């Protein structure tokens, strides 16, 4: 299975850590966040990485060249920071079948394998890891709205008034149907093409969507304090 990693971000909130490097190369516990992503994806069976680069892209390309621990890397370029759905579409021509997607600014110690097994065994159009966060933090993420049975009925990106505290974590498995949905996405109020809107389109069209509750932890490294917190968790 191929794995797409979105690593085009500038990381303005991580400054001064990102003054001379992209967010994905910020080190956590002695190695770049992107290396943590690669290690976990390789353990899950990924046999090719498709890495979407943008800000200071050459730093990433020079660091990894064309492979990581024997797994080949293909690079695609997001020329403008227009959202995650826009970034994912740059990888479309390189993806052949069902694939994994990881955001390149997360550090996980969680049940990622459950998502991979669900995708391989049941072939939904999307399977992704979700977690409950404090309500005051939910507006940082793609928030899942649920019905009385706990089924996800809607996903909204970074809402000012979150409908729940159940959020997408940044790890997914998709069928190629997600690319068609990304092409249909319109710019959000933030002016970006949101991945959560593409997932929402899959839900509205009746596609099979499986959300799996996270067992473990993850840190979204958005601020310097998050980097420190991720290091502490990895060293526990």
Instruction: Look up the CATH number of the domain holding residue 33.
Output: 3.90.550.10
pLDDT 10s digits, 47-66: 999 999 999 999 999 999 99
Which secondary-structure segment (H or E) carries 228? helix 224-234
Angle between helices 195-204 and 177-184 (to 10 degrees): 110
Is the pLDDT reported for residue 145 higher than 90?
no
Token pair recorded at residue 41: 């994806």
Whether the Cβ atoms of residue 73 and residue 38 lie closer than 8 Å to each other: no
Whether the Cβ atoms of residue 215 and residue 110 lie closer than 8 Å to each other: yes
Is the pLDDT reported for residue 154 higher than 90?
no
Region of 73 on the Ramachandran plot (φ > 0 left; ψ -120 to 50 alpha; else beta):
beta
Domain count, the chain: 1
Averaged pLDDT score across all residues of the chain: 92
Residue 1 CA to residue 45 CA, distance in Å, equals: 7
Q: What is the domain range of residue 186?
A: 2-234
Q: In Å, what is the CA distance from 57 to each residue of 87, 139, 147, 186?
A: 13, 28, 41, 26
Q: Percent of the chain scored above 90 by pLDDT?
A: 66
Q: Percent of the chain scored above 70 by pLDDT?
A: 99
pLDDT at residue 150 in the model: 60
């Amino acid at each position: 299975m191929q794995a797409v990693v979105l690593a085009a971000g500038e990381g303005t909130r991580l400054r001064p850590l990102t003054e001379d490097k992209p967010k994905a190369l910020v080190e956590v516990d002695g190695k770049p966040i992107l290396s943590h992503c690669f290690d976990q994806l390789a353990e899950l069976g990924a046999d090719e990485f498709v890495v979407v680069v943008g800000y200071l892209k050459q730093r990433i390309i020079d660091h990894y060249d064309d492979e990581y621990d024997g797994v080949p890397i293909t690079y695609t370029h997001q020329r403008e920071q227009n959202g995650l759905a826009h970034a994912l579409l740059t990888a479309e021509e390189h993806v052949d079948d069902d694939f994994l997607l990881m955001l390149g600014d997360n550090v996980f110690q969680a049940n990622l394998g459950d998502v991979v097994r669900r995708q391989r065994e049941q072939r939904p159009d999307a399977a992704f890891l979700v977690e409950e966060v404090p309500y005051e933090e939910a507006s940082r993420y793609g928030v899942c709205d649920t019905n009385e049975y706990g089924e996800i009925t809607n996903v909204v990106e970074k809402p000012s008034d979150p409908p729940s505290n159940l959020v997408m974590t940044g790890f997914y498995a998709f069928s190629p149907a997600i690319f068609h949905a990304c092409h249909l996405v319109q710019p959000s109020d933030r002016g970006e093409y949101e991945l959560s809107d593409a997932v929402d389109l899959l839900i509205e069209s009746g596609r099979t969507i499986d959300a799996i509750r996270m067992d473990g932890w993850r840190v979204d490294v958005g601020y310097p304090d998050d980097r420190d917190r991720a290091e502490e968790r990895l060293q526990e």
